[in-house]
Amino acid sequence: MIPGEFEALRLRAMREWQEMHLKPFVTVGTASCGRSVGALETLDAVKDFIAKHSVDCNVLEVGCMGLCYCEPIMGISVPGAPRVFYGKVGAEEAHEILEQHLLRGKPVAKYALGTVGDGIVDGIQNLFENPFFKKQLRRVLSRCGFVEPTNLNHYIATGGYEGFLKALSMEPTQIIEELKNSGLRGRGGAGFPTGLKWELARKSTGDEKYIVCNGAEGDIGAFMDRLIMESDPYSVIEGMTIAGLAVGAKRGYIYVRAEYELAFHVLEKAISTATQHGLLGRDILGTGLQFEVELFKAAGMYICGEETALMNSMEGQRGTPRLRPPFPTQSGLKGMPTVVNNVKTLANVPLILRNGASWFSSVGTEKSKGTVVLSLSGCVERQGVIEVPMGITLREVIYEIGGGIANGRKLKAVQTGGPLGGIIPEWMIDLTLDYETLRDVGSPLGSGGIIALDDRTCMVDVARAFAEFAKKESCGYCIPCRLGTAQIFQILDEIAKGHGKPSDVDLLVSIGEAMKVSCFCAFGQGVPNIVLATLKHFPNEYEEHIRSGRCPISYKLSEGG
């Protein structure tokens, strides 16, 4: 039975959604990626144009649809015609497009990315036929860039809270079983089965239990969680609420990376709105259920993305990992059973409850079910955030979605999994993207960052850059990591400067292998991955640096290569 309070919310949401489509409206993507290239100036230009011409038209600020390389993005919707999205729209382009499309009814094909909705516009393809979207399967990202992020009515009108309503009609154990049957695994990097984690927490005893959303995203080349938090915050909140219901937790925390100021602001407003409308609080929708959510600004260290270091920092302690066991599901935040899930994991939960476990698991591989949200950056033509079925090949991602390598260069390698990930050379890019395949080749999927490196990239420089990051971000808790990260960087720095010795290669391998077995946490154990991968796949570059005292890539480029 649907609570009467929610039925009133849904009626209001549908009314606003329908009324919005009865007259023209313009959207501007104002997430971080858009703002970085002038989206707020575009927004001002749109508002000025509409005021100047006295157009009866709504202007909406939406999130990012993942087409980061095309920002700022503007959409125009006119009743009776498909919605048209335009890319790389500055203030000047905005005036031209609005003049032609909004006032004269003539969409401007030269700026168009594609259309959404029924009908055909000559010269403009459907948006989802755009090569960037054609191989995608957008589930988690379905709202991103299309709705106002903090508008609860928009969220409900597009299916929001249907998963929670379904959960209300189920026993907590049934919710957990649905998650287990779906095959959902943690999207933060470890890939631990989500339903099993919830089950362990539910069975643990404690005066209180907590749900923590890990939004500390710190991997180099990873910006998927930021996009979701900025563009569809209610999906995370709803996922946390379902988790609370399943586990028996009454309080949740969203741990947001300190640099993500916009995400923090968006979530803050969304939490407040959800609370005002009875979707969070001490008596949710009059059901007697209690679940409250607080925001927590992260400590600013990479290691605080590790779940036990995260909890230490939340308790006011130094952000260092804890010894396990006990695991957080047994003794976590404040010593109580705690579920820590990634942003993407929680955003999947409402979809699974709404559509069923079999729907979720209908795509993917045998052991890696569903879709995966990835950030694609580096030397590709089209950078952004994408959502694809597990099991897609790296080649498809780089060449069909990403458009291949920019400036006519050749792909040299792909870096996956952030600082604790690895390197996949070009000749291995027909590998499938799933947890097992990438783990087996020593380049874990991690949280989903993919960086393409072209043939101008020096792999010694790549290893040195990641080693420098690791040296700065090591918490210093254990000696192997504290000393090992510094030693690896020092050796790589000397090699890169032309002062390397033949014995340095064996020393790097020795230190790396020792760290993998002796460091206290996954950070120190994973730091050597990229160094060892570049040594394995590109040994000649190290040899040339040491033998000639110069970078072979830089020398080749200086000679016109």
pLDDT for 130? 94
- Per-residue model confidence as pLDDT tens digits over 317-351: 999 999 999 999 999 999 999 999 999 999 999 99
pLDDT for 467? 96
Confidence of residue 370 (pLDDT cuts 50, 70, 90): very high
pLDDT for 5? 86
Which phi-psi region, left, alpha or beta, contains residue 330 (left: φ > 0; alpha: ψ -120 to 50)? alpha
* pLDDT above 90 for 40: yes
- Per-residue model confidence as pLDDT tens digits over 435-492: 999 999 999 888 899 999 999 999 999 999 999 999 999 999 999 999 999 999 999 9
Mean pLDDT of the region 2-18: 92
Mean pLDDT of the region 166-192: 95
Contact predicate 180/193, CB 8 Å: yes
Percent pLDDT > 90 in the chain is 92
* pLDDT above 90 for 118: no
Contact predicate 519/511, CB 8 Å: no
Token pair recorded at residue 456: 């101008």
Strand partners, 405: 380
pLDDT for 555? 64
pLDDT for 123? 85
DSSP 340-405: EEEHHHHHHHHHHHHH-HHHHHTSB-SSSBSEEEEEEEESBSS-EEEEEETT-BHHIIIIIIS-SB
Confidence of residue 560 (pLDDT cuts 50, 70, 90): low
Contact predicate 225/342, CB 8 Å: yes
pLDDT for 422? 94
DSSP H or E stretch at residue 195: helix 194-203
Rounded CA gap, 3 and 5, in Å? 5
Beta-carbon contacts of 173 under 8 Å, excluding residues fewer than 6 positions away, are 202
Computed over every residue of the chain, the mean pLDDT equals: 95
pLDDT for 495? 97
Confidence of residue 120 (pLDDT cuts 50, 70, 90): confident
Confidence of residue 390 (pLDDT cuts 50, 70, 90): very high
Beta-carbon contacts of 131 under 8 Å, excluding residues fewer than 6 positions away, are 382, 400, 401, 403
pLDDT for 121? 87
Rounded CA gap, 243 and 350, in Å? 10
What is the per-residue burial (b if ≥16 Cβ within 10 Å, else e) of 300-313? ebbbbbbbbbbbbb
Residue with tokens 């028996």: 248
Mean pLDDT of the region 144-154: 98
This prediction has a pTM of 0.96
pLDDT for 189? 82
Rounded CA gap, 76 and 207, in Å? 52
* pLDDT above 80 for 263: yes
- Per-residue model confidence as pLDDT tens digits over 529-559: 999 999 999 999 999 999 999 998 886 777 6
pLDDT for 175? 98
Strand partners, 373: 387
Mean pLDDT of the region 358-363: 98
pLDDT for 447? 87
> 3-class secondary structure for 390-419?
CCCEHHHHHHHHCCCEHHHCCEEEEEECHH
pLDDT for 398? 98
Confidence of residue 402 (pLDDT cuts 50, 70, 90): very high
Picking from 95, 13, 4, 102, the residue whose alpha carbon sits closest to that of residue 56 is: 102
Q: Which residue type does 87 have?
A: G
Contact predicate 157/13, CB 8 Å: yes
- Per-residue model confidence as pLDDT tens digits over 226-240: 999 999 999 999 999
Name the burial class of residue 408, with classes exposed (0-12), middle (13-18) and buried (19+) by CB atoms within 10 angstroms of its CB.
Answer: exposed
Higher-confidence position of 10 and 122? 10
* pLDDT above 70 for 1: no
